[in-house]
Structures are given as C-alpha cells and as structure tokens.
C-alpha cells in the first residue's frame, strides 16, 4: 500500500507520487491514517453517516484537551449532527440568505475596483496582503457589521484560526490558534452587545434578532456561530483568491481567455476551485467499526480526504489533468463538503471570486510571480502565506 507523508512541510497533493498512488488504488496510508485519493470514494465518505467531524477526538489526537481552542471547537456547528445541527444551522440560514449574497455583489465590485487601482499604482505587490486578505475582510465587514477600523485585527485572527485544520504541522500552530480564538471570542462577545443595543442592517444584527425572538440557541452558541462565520468568511476566500492567482500565473493563456470572454467567470471560478482548492484536504472520524470497500476502519480512526487530488481524478473529471476554464465539469466540487454539512459560505466565496477575476483580467495582463512563494501546510486550509506578483496593463 502506498505511503504518503502528508505532514511533511514540503508535501504537495499534486506531486507525481500522489497521482501514481491514485492510479493504483482509492486510498493510501499516511501519518494521519487512511488517505482517500479518488473522487467517488471521497464523495461517498463525506455523506456517510457513520463518520463525523471528530469532535473532541481531533483535538485530543493533537494534545489539546482544554483551553480556548477546545472551548471553541467542541461546541462548533460542524461537530453537531441531527436535530442539534439543524437547530444551529437554522439560525444562520434564516439570517444569511442567498438574497443577502446577491445584495452585496455591487459592494464586492466596488471594492475590487478600488483594490485594483492600488495594485495598478504599485505594479509589484505582495498579493495576499494587498488584495487577497483585504477583499474578504471588507466583504465580511459589510455583511457582518464589523467596523473598518477593526479589519486589521480580524485579518490576523481570522487567518490564524484557519490553522485549526493543520495542528499536525506542529511548530507554533497551537499557540497561534489559541490567540486567534481568544481574540475573536472577546471581540464577538462585545459586538453582540453592540448589535443588541443598536441593531443595523447586517448579518450579526439579524442573527441577534432571531436569537432573541426564538431562543433556540444559547448566547454562547450564538457567539460560537459568529466566530465560526468570521473564520469561514475570510480565511478560505483569502487562500482561494491567492490560489487563483498562482493558477493563472501558471496558465497565462487562460487569463487571456477570461479577459476576452468575461461571461466565463462562473465557470472559471469553479475550475479554479477544482484545480487548486483552498480546502486541499478534509477529515472525518469513524463513529463505529466500518468495513468500506475492503478497508477496515476502526471506530475513532480519522480518515483524511485528499480533496485536491480527488478533484483531478480522471475517473470523475475526464481531461481533468488540465486547467481549462471553458470545460464543463459534471462532478460537483468536494471542498465544501456534502450533505447536511455542506458549507453555508460557498455561495459568498463564489460571488467574490466571480466578481474579482474578470475585473482583474480586464485590467491586467496575466500575473507574474516575482519572488519566493511561501505556503501554508498542505493539510487543512491551503494557500500562499506570501505571494509576490507583478501586474501590468494589457499591451
């Protein structure tokens, strides 16, 4: 059975040995347990009710048994199923609607144009800092009602909290996540008080109103939901924007095609998310002993889905070994999960990229990487920590 060391700092889910293992079979061994490499098996396991998100087990596996991370993670919505999950998701769903996402699109476009003005003036930029972090922060602030003066605070907290899915990487990961959780918890607690006293037309005010009217969740659960929303609204979109720029820098002809045919924007976003997803991997835990396609999985075992490799699986995506924004891909993306736990923020992430990419393609030639790109760990939320790019006007 192939062995893939996914916790190695230099590991890459698109390395030749990964696809060799995928061609040989649907799973490989790893330091984290079974690693699922193919699309069909990943999709089935994401929907399998015999697997959950790990609860305390994930933290215990990495030596976290108490403290701010535990107190945030254990009651998080993803760690609830059935009636509890529906109760928590219902509060968010009644406040965070598709109509709200559509209403924020003009703000997204205005923000993209303003940030593009700054990029054009600079020419050479560190893209994560200059654009990828600032766009979702601004959108999050607009939606949630977070004052612009506090965006810099949120930038650090909401990025570091995303390392929760990379605890196996070691180093200072735990301490960074602890600081982020503590900071966001305290801030959101105060923000709830503000929205109770002075409600506005924003998502947190609507969530507070639903909470006060229905009392289906506790105040602690409300705070946890908002902290989780902040994390989801910023970190994943930040890295997806940066991953898009890396991808187009590697495929400049596709950038030119998008400039010529901006109507391809939605398809381009889906293809970027397929090719280089910000959620390069996701995990689940077996709640009972399972025999799945000949693999015996003991209760308590964690199973890691290699989303980035699975989304290039030729069995699911014929011709999927090429990045092509004109292609029609029938198989749905995996990075947002499946079933009852499908990511609530997927539409907002798609909206931001579908507005940003055609504007950037219209205004600039393909991005050029001008220095060393440093990366987050391959496991969990994946993307550049630093992405030096040069943008020039089309000739």
pLDDT at 207 > cutoff 90:
no
3-state secondary structure of 289: coil
* Sequential DSSP letters for 164-227: GGGGGG-TTHHHHHHHHHHHHHHHHHHHHHHHHHS--SSHHHHHHHHHHHH--S-HHHHHHHHH
| Structural domain boundaries, residue 94 | 16-390
Instruction: Confirm whether 69 is domain-assigned.
Output: yes
Task: Give backbone dihedrals phi and psi of 316, rounded to 5 degrees, phi first.
Answer: -100, -30
Nearest CA-CA partner of 247 in 272, 264, 277: 272
Contacts of 68 (CB under 8 A, 6+ apart): 178, 181, 182, 185
pLDDT at 394 > cutoff 70:
yes
Instruction: Confirm whether 219 is domain-assigned.
Output: yes
Query: Could you tell me if 232 and 343 are in contact, meaning their C-beta atoms sit under 8 angstroms apart?
Result: yes
CATH number at residue 373: 1.10.630.10
pLDDT digits (tens, 9 = 90+) for 305-331: 999 999 999 999 999 999 999 999 999
* Structural element, H or E, at residue 274: helix 265-275
Nearest CA-CA partner of 314 in 331, 326, 294: 331
Out of 36-50, 59-73, 160-174, give the one with best mean pLDDT: 36-50
Q: What local confidence, expressed as pLDDT, does residue 251 receive?
A: 98
* E runs forming strands in 39-192: 51-52, 124-126
Instruction: Confirm whether 2 is domain-assigned.
Output: no
How far CA 233 is from CA of 1, 22, 79, 142, 167, in Å, comes to 38, 32, 19, 11, 21
> pTM for the full model?
0.91
Instruction: Confirm whether 368 is domain-assigned.
Output: yes
- Distance of alpha carbon 224 from alpha carbon 226, whole angstroms: 5
Instruction: Confirm whether 11 is domain-assigned.
Output: no
Instruction: Confirm whether 8 is domain-assigned.
Output: no
pLDDT at 90 > cutoff 80:
no
Phi-psi region of 282 (alpha: psi -120 to 50; beta: other; left: phi over 0): beta
Instruction: Confirm whether 111 is domain-assigned.
Output: yes
Instruction: Confirm whether 6 is domain-assigned.
Output: no
Contacts of 216 (CB under 8 A, 6+ apart): 87, 90, 91
Question: pLDDT > 70: what percent of the chain?
Answer: 99
Query: Could you tell me if 157 and 227 are in contact, meaning their C-beta atoms sit under 8 angstroms apart?
Result: no
User: What number is the average pLDDT over the span 80-84?
Assistant: 76
Query: Domain tally for the chain?
Result: 1
Nearest CA-CA partner of 78 in 383, 265, 337: 337
C-alpha Rg value of the chain to the nearest Å: 21
Q: What local confidence, expressed as pLDDT, does residue 52 receive?
A: 87
pLDDT digits (tens, 9 = 90+) for 255-286: 999 999 999 999 999 999 999 999 999 999 99
């Amino acid at each position: 059975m192939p062995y893939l060391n996914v916790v190695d700092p230099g590991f890459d889910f698109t390395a030749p040995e990964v696809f060799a293992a995928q061609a040989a079979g649907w799973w490989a061994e790893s330091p984290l347990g079974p690693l699922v490499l193919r699309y069909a098996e990943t999709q089935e396991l994401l929907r399998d009710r015999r697997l959950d998100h790990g609860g305390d087990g994930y933290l215990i596996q990495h030596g976290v048994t108490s403290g701010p991370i535990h107190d945030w993670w254990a009651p998080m919505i993803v760690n609830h199923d059935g009636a509890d999950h529906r109760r928590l998701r219902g509060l968010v769903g009644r406040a965070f609607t598709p109509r709200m996402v559509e209403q924020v699109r003009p703000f997204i476009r205005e923000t993209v144009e303003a940030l593009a003005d700054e990029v054009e003036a600079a020419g050479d930029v560190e893209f994560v800092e200059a654009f990828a972090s600032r766009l979702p922060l601004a959108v999050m602030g607009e939606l949630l009602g977070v004052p612009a003066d506090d965006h810099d605070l949120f930038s650090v907290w909401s990025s570091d909290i995303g390392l929760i899915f990379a605890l196996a990487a070691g180093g200072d990961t735990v301490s960074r996540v602890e600081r982020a959780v503590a900071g966001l918890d305290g801030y959101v607690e105060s923000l709830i008080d503000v929205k109770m006293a002075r409600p506005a037309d924003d998502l947190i005010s609507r969530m507070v109103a639903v909470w006060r009217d229905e009392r289906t969740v506790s105040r602690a659960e409300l705070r946890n939901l908002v902290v989780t929303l902040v994390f989801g609204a910023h970190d994943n979109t930040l890295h997806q924007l940066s991953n898009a720029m890396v991808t187009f820098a590697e495929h400049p002809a596709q950038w030119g095609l998008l400039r010529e045919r901006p109507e391809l924007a939605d398809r381009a976003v889906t293809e970027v998310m397929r090719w280089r997803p910000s959620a390069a991997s996701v995990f689940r835990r077996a709640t009972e002993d399972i025999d799945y396609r000949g693999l015996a999985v003991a209760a308590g075992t964690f199973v890691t889905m290699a989303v980035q490799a699975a989304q290039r699986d030729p069995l699911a995506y014929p011709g999927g070994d090429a990045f092509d924004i004109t292609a029609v891909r029938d198989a749905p993306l995996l990075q947002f999960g499946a079933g009852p736990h499908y990511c609530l923020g997927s539409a907002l992430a798609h909206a931001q990229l579908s507005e940003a990419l055609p504007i950037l393609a219209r205004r600039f030639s393909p991005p050029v990487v001008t220095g060393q790109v440093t990366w987050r760990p391959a496991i969990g939320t994946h993307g550049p920590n630093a992405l030096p790019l040069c943008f020039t006007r089309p000739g």
